[in-house]
Structure 1
Amino acid sequence: MIINHNLMANNALRNMNINSNNASKAMEKLSSGLRINRAGDDAAGLAISEKMRGQINGLNQASSNAQDSISLIQTAEGALNETHSILQRMRTLAVQSSNDTNTTTDRTAIQSEINQLTNEIDRIGNTTEFNTKKLLNGEVKGVNAEVKGTAVINNNTTLTDLKISASAGQATAIADKGKVNGAITVTRLNEGTTIGTAGDYEVIGADGNKIAATGNLTFATGEITFKDGQIASGTDINILGSFANMKAGESFTIVLNKHEAATTNTSNAITAQIGANSGQTMQIGIDDMRAAALGVRNASGDAIKVDDKYSANSAVSTIQNAIEKVSSQRSKLGAYQNRLEHTINNLGTSSENLTSAESRIRDVDMASEMSEYSKNNILSQAAQAMLAQANQQPQQVLQLLR
């Protein structure tokens, strides 16, 4: 018998400590609800679950970002709804002014209202903002859109020069009143940015066929359209046309279409972060919706003219083009919103599924862990009892001393 080393007590103490530690860990898991509270619990599981947590948090924030983007879009679209109403009123006034039952005084009053409505379009474009970010003044323009400009030639108008602006897509007629009795010259002026590749045009007749760049053309009522892709950059377009066949009441419309491939300008467009990872974005571009960009204000800053029947007749087409441009922009905003709504639904589904996967790794099974805690607690108490018994064994040596 030995007394310096109580091996039975050491064994009981070791097992008691092991059971106590296991019971303590089980209690920690039960109190936190987590299977992994420290890296030592499951090193690989911790790394995987933390990566999943990063994705879940990113997906939830991306969903919030998408909702904020929808709010921005709704702000812009709501403002454009009023711009649409103003343009519809301006078109009505232009049609009214085209009628010769109006006197000069009547047309002056109509022009006055047109001026005020044009100013209001500019005010809406300059002041509409979301979180102090201007939306309709061209600062967030991200996509090059088609721009139209029109000029109407009437049977009693001598067109001396038709200025076509490449930058704004405006066609401005400088005319003298009188009978059309000869050839006209249509000249492209290089103003601002070029159109399309190398700033080219082609001329399309009312029948949809391409017309030669130069030549003697005879027109009655009809339309020709300038598109990019025909005349070399920097070259004026000279079209000679005889309008001698035009009868009283007939007119001819020249339309300028600026066609460019829709390209994203990431430096100006609004970037919506709609994913949990870098690069998962979408671009939201809103064109300049002020009067000059819509073509209802000229380069001199004057509102579109409706103070005589010829100007008013031309203004109808110009304002209609502006209405179409606003309609196109509102349609794009609606498409953005619909896309973002689907994005939010997808993000919610992804976040839910990832949360479920992360839960299976990180969360504790309470029933199973309670059984484990009960087992370790009972073993710990049993080890304490055995330790007490082991500590009594050396006392038997005292019997030998009697």
Structure 2
Amino acid sequence: MSGLIINDNIASMNAQYNLNETQRALAKHINRLSSGYRVNSPADDPAGYAISQRMGGQVKSYAASIRNANDGSSLLQTANGALQTDNTIILKMRQLAIEAANSTYSPKDLKVLNQEYQHLKSEITRIAKVTDFNGMKLLDGSHPDFKFQVGIYTTFSDRLHVKMGKVDANALGIGGTDILNRNDAKHSVDQLDKALDKINGLQGNIGAIQDRMEWTIRNLNTATTNVQASRAGIRDVDFAGETARFTKRQILSQSGAAVLAQSNLIPQAAIKLLP
């Protein structure tokens, strides 16, 4: 409908509608530029918001898994350090047993050698009792195995498992050994060799798990980076494009306000028609 009317200013209504839409769009641009995110709420992009939230949960889970792997590696390093000390002690005990197996030592000499031998054996048991990580005893048998949660799910592949067990003198088979005579010394050498084999086996297993821990941490860091990159592509705002659109809306807002002011003057033209 054309003509000069005063009850309904259609031009003003259209200008108001367009200006309101521009202001709403301008508010979204300001929100995105100030937050740095393209998706700030489900209303911005329902699917994108859901995916980004899920990815955010994955990133936090990866971070927890990395901490678990680092803590697990520290625990294993503590146990390995104690076992290395045991290894050194047993080698010294074996040296004493080899000396005692020689006929050149008198019973008095053997008694002196055995005294040192027994002290070393007691030290192995003491180490087993005091070696701990975060309040947990590692070698006294109270924690026969450890499971490390190094994945973000609960499957078998998301855990690393290592057995420890009891590693004192009795568990190593040398608890009742001595070197008070040649036969006892020869028997002690055999038992000490078996104890060394057991400790070397434990250290080898721990070392293998530690190596896996390092590769697991690398893989988790890579996965974290990839998920964060994907999430950024969904959620983060493109500042260059958003700034261009923001500038466009600013210009439309200013021109819309000017046009609205002009359209509000149209009904006043009717006054000039009055006699």
TM range (shorter): over 0.9
Three-state SS of the structure 1 residue aligned to 2:170 is helix
1:289 is the counterpart of 2:167 = yes
Per-residue CA deviations over 1:128-152 (Å, capped at 9, x if unaligned) read 01111111112222xxxxxxxxxxx
2:72 maps to which of 69, 75, 86? 69
C-alpha separation in 1, matches of 2:148 and 2:170:
28
1:99-134 deviation per Cα after TM superposition (whole angstroms, max 9, x unaligned): 111111111111111111111101100000111111
Paired residues of 1:6 and 1:391 also in contact (CA < 8 A): yes
1:129–1:135 CA contact under 8 A, matched in 2:
yes
Q: Distance in 1 between matches of 2:14 and 2:203?
A: 81
**Offset at residue 4 of structure 1 (A):** 2.1
Contact 1:287 / 1:329 at 8 angstroms: preserved in 2?
no
2:198 is aligned with what amino acid? K
More strand per residue: 1
- Structure 2 distance, partners of 1:282, 1:331, is 15
1:304-323 matches, within 5 Å, as 304-323=177-196
Q: Which residue number corresponds to residue 130 of structure 2? A: 127
AA at the equivalent of 2:84: N
The equivalent of 1:270 in structure 2 is 146
What's the CA shift for 1:372?
0.8
Q: Take 1:37 and 1:17, find their aligned partners in 2: how far apart are those partners?
A: 21
Decide whether the 8 Å contact of 2:131 with 2:139 is kept in 1: yes
- What is the DSSP-based 3-state SS (H/G/I as helix, E as strand, rest coil) of the residue aligned with 1:41? coil
5+ residue gaps, structure 2: none
> How far apart are the structure 2 equivalents of 1:395 and 1:321?
110
State how many pairs are aligned.
Answer: 270
Deviation at 1:276, TM superposition (A): 1.5
Pick aligned residue for 1:136 from 135, 139, 145: 139
For the residue of structure 1 that corresponds to 2:264, the secondary structure is: helix
Matches within 5 A, 1:239-254: none
- Indicate if the aligned counterparts of 2:52 and 2:235 stay in contact, CA closer than 8 A: yes
Percent of paired sites with the same residue: 37
Gaps of 5+ in 1: 142-268, 299-303
Aligned to 1:351: 224
Identify the structure with bigger relative contact order (alpha carbons < 8 Å, sequence gap 6+).
2
TM-score, normalized by length of structure 1?
A: 0.66
Where do 1:169-188 residues align within 5 Å?
none
Q: Is the 8 A contact 1:286 1:329 kept in 2?
A: yes
Deviation at 1:63, TM superposition (A): 1.1
Larger helix fraction of residues: 2
Cα offset, 1:285, TM superposition: 1.7
